[in-house]
């Protein structure tokens, strides 16, 4: 149904009262007619404000008042568009109406829109000279004179534009984080603490880790320092747990790995220092492979070792063993007797109480006072002092090899073809057989007798880590295993294949690797207590020695090429003895010099130190280093 809206009196009541108390609402009165007649009922009214009488832009939100009561066509309602609508420019009121609740019907709008004008008090409030209350900053335009903004500002004033500029002097206290300030004069900072991040990296910080690339002079003798120091001979120590190390100048390294640690020297200038300390069981080596490096010094070496033929009688020497210091030797002749020496093999005496037999194996305690010898087709004989005796229950067996613990109390012996492995824990008084019959050819023991290895000629190598109670076949290939030697702790073992190569185990005999740089065609092996020094010999050829775990070998030109059959060395590897077998009885025993050989030379392959050794190397120019101090035995190769 058509509706006609007739405006009677629009009152902006807010303008009739004090502006400061009234807010933004105003009262609107009007007359509503339907079909030209005043109507009565409830209606929905919708109000909005535009910036033009026609079209234009909607300035306000839509304000809907519902229901609004109409009586005889008259109604009164309050309208509030809130702030931001009446800002000065002309405004037109748009009014729509519909029956209350007819939400599906569209509003009927009064046209044209009504222009809104001010009432007297509203006009009065537009004059700033009569302003009571607050003036919105958005109402200001133009420039405010400096005289009007002087004074004190107790509230927070934020200048957020990066285009702000300030000229002149400033007095008083300035607070804040100072962000965005530039060109500050640092000399004017008199209190407070400057953050570390604001300081140059050349400034020493109390609680920070820093690196100074420049030269610093500390001239006060009262200075004290804690920690590691590097440069100009000051060497700080670093712990290295791995097996490889690229050393740096003016550094010291403590090598703790149980395996061999390989150290590479850096390029260095005259005076630069590198220190190596080797508490780890594996020892250390420095291969000289970079930039034509070398070491000049007096080091232990197997280069040009002097070998002397001993006074031992010409015979078919079959076996030989030594005390830990190499001074006491025991040797056996196949189809002969047993001989001993107490002066590094210079003189020999035969054990007259022993028969002439097919002696095949001998062993010695570390001090050389407990000896044992075995006959192929006979028995095992033990000696303490000068008395030899046949061990009970060992007669008439094909004994092929025997080994002793350091104190001589624990023994292991092998039979070839007629029996197995035999263990004694009481100096050979009684024996038990943990493994059965095989062509057992060779055995070896750790110093405490708990780590044992045994090889079969044409079979495998077996090992035990509990004094022979239990045995395990190793990963070795089936071969003619002919000779075994063990380090004192049993962890390193070397083995010779008859007419073949030299093999090494670094895990008590569990796994084996052929030493590819070692000679082939060998028959015997021996090693030092730490396993780093190894001796072998080619049947009908030369003796070969290694001072670095078999990585490199030196042919012993000071000894003849002959039928080497057995080898032994002292625990430190400095004293060696080799036995020559000869079916014609013309064999002999050769020994290396009776004092450790120190040779001053230029070593180009490398140097080696066993556990407990240390060296301080100083560069003397041209890639050459010189040991200026050392501890323990340092070997050159």
Of 290, 283, 253, the residue nearest 635 (C-alpha): 283
Query: Which pLDDT belongs to residue 235?
Result: 67
Q: Which parts of the chain have pLDDT scores under 50? A: 1-4, 6-21, 120-121, 123-124, 126-127, 594
Q: 77 — phi, psi (to 5°)?
A: -150, 155
Strands 472-473 and 461-464, how do they pair?
antiparallel
Query: How crowded is residue 475: how many other Cβ atoms within 10 Å of its Cβ?
Result: 14
d(CA 273, CA 511): 39
Report the b/e string of 101-128 with b at 16+ CB within 10 A: eeeeeebbebeebbebeeeebbeebeee
Query: Which pLDDT belongs to residue 221?
Result: 63
Query: Which pLDDT belongs to residue 302?
Result: 83
d(CA 415, CA 439): 7
d(CA 360, CA 331): 10
d(CA 11, CA 93): 13
Strands 294-301 and 598-603, how do they pair?
antiparallel
d(CA 553, CA 30): 121
- Convert 480-500 into a string of H (helix), E (strand) and C (coil): EEEEEEECCCCCCEEEEECCE
At which residue do the structure tokens 């064999």 appear? 587
Query: What is the signed CA dihedral for 322, 325, 410, 257, rounded to 10 degrees?
Result: -120
| The model's pTM | 0.63
For residues 304 and 338, the answer to whether their CB atoms sit within 8 Å is no
d(CA 353, CA 572): 32
d(CA 150, CA 225): 59
For domain 3-129, the CATH architecture is: Sandwich (2.60)
Of 50, 60, 55, the residue nearest 24 (C-alpha): 60
d(CA 578, CA 511): 28
Burial of residue 273 (CB within 10 Å: 0-12, 13-18, 19+) is: buried
Query: What is the signed CA dihedral for 144, 171, 192, 209, rounded to 10 degrees?
Result: 60
Indicate the fold that domain 236-303+605-636 takes in CATH. Jelly Rolls (2.60.120)
d(CA 303, CA 553): 9
Query: Which pLDDT belongs to residue 14?
Result: 31
Residue-range domain boundaries for the chain: 3-129, 236-303+605-636, 307-596
Q: Cα separations (Å) of 572 from 53, 247, 524, 576?
A: 115, 27, 19, 10
Q: Superfamily assignment of 307-596 in CATH? A: YVTN repeat-like/Quinoprotein amine dehydrogenase (2.130.10.10)
Backbone dihedral region for residue 291 (phi beyond 0: left; psi -120 to 50: alpha; all else: beta): left
Half-sphere exposure of 562 (CA within 13 A, CB side): 21
């Amino acid at each position: 149904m058509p509706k006609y809206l007739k405006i009677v009196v629009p009152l902006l009541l807010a303008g009739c009262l004090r502006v400061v108390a009234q807010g933004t609402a105003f009262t609107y009165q009007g007359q509503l007619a339907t079909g030209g007649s005043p109507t009565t009922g409830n209606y929905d009214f919708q109000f909005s404000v535009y910036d033009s009488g026609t079209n234009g832009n909607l300035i306000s939100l839509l304000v809907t008042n519902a229901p609004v009561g109409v009586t005889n066509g008259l109604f009164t309602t309050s309208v509030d568009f809130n702030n931001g609508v009446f800002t000065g420019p002309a405004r037109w009121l748009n009014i729509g109406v519909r029956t209350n609740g007819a939400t599906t019907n569209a509003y009927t709008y009064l046209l044209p829109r009504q222009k809104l004008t001010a009432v007297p008090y509203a006009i009065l409030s537009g004059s700033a000279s009569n302003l009571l209350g607050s003036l919105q900053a958005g109402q200001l335009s133009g420039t405010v004179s400096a005289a009007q903004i002087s004074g004190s500002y107790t509230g927070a004033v934020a200048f957020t534009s990066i285009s702000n500029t300030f000229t002149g002097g400033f007095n008083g206290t300035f607070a804040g984080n100072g962000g965005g300030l530039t060109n500050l004069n640092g000399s004017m900072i008199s209190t407070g603490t400057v953050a570390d991040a604001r300081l140059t990296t050349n400034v020493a910080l109390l609680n920070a880790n820093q690196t100074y690339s420049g030269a610093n002079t500390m001239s006060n003798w009262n200075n004290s320092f804690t920690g590691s120091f590097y440069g100009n001979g000051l060497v700080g120590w670093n712990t290295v747990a791995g097996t490889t190390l690229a050393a740096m100048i003016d550094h010291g390294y403590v090598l703790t790995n149980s395996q061999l640690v390989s150290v590479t020297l850096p390029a260095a200038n005259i005076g630069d220092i590198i220190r190596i300390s080797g508490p780890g069981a594996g020892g250390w080596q420095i291969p000289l492979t970079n930039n034509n490096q070398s070491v000049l010094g007096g080091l232990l070496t197997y280069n040009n070792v002097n070998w002397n033929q001993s006074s031992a009688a010409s015979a078919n020497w079959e076996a030989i063993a030594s005390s830990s210091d190499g001074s006491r030797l025991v040797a056996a002749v196949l189809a002969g007797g047993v001989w001993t020496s107490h002066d590094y093999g210079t003189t020999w005496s035969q054990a007259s109480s022993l028969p002439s037999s097919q002696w095949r194996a001998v062993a010695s305690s570390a001090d050389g006072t407990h000896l044992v010898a075995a006959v192929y087709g006979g028995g095992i004989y033990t000696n303490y002092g000068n008395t030899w005796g046949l061990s009970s229950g060992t007669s008439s067996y094909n004994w092929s090899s025997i080994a002793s613990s350091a104190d001589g109390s624990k023994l292991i012996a092998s039979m070839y073809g007629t029996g197995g492995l035999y263990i004694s824990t009481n100096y050979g008084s009684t024996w038990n057989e943990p493994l059965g019959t095989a062509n057992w050819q060779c055995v070896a023991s750790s110093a405490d007798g708990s780590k044992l290895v045994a090889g079969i000629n044409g079979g495998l190598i077996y090992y035990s880590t509990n004094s022979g109670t239990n045995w395990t076949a190793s990963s070795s290939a089936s071969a003619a295993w002919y000779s075994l030697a063990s380090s004192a702790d049993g962890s390193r073992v070397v083995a010779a294949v008859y007419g073949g190569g030299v093999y090494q185990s670094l895990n008590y005999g569990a796994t084996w690797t052929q030493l590819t740089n070692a000679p082939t065609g060998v028959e015997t092996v021996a090693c030092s207590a730490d396993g780093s020094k190894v001796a072998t010999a080619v049947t009908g050829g030369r003796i070969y020695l290694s001072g670095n775990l078999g990585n490199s070998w030196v042919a012993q030109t000071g000894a003849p090429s002959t039928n080497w059959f057995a080898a032994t060395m002292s625990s430190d590897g400095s004293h060696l003895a080799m036995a020559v077998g000869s079916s014609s009885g013309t064999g002999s025993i050769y020994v290396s010099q009776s004092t450790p050989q120190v040779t001053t030379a230029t070593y180009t392959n490398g140097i080696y130190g066993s556990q407990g050794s240390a060296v301080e190397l100083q560069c003397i120019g041209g890639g050459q280093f010189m040991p200026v101090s050392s501890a323990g035995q340092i070997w050159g190769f």
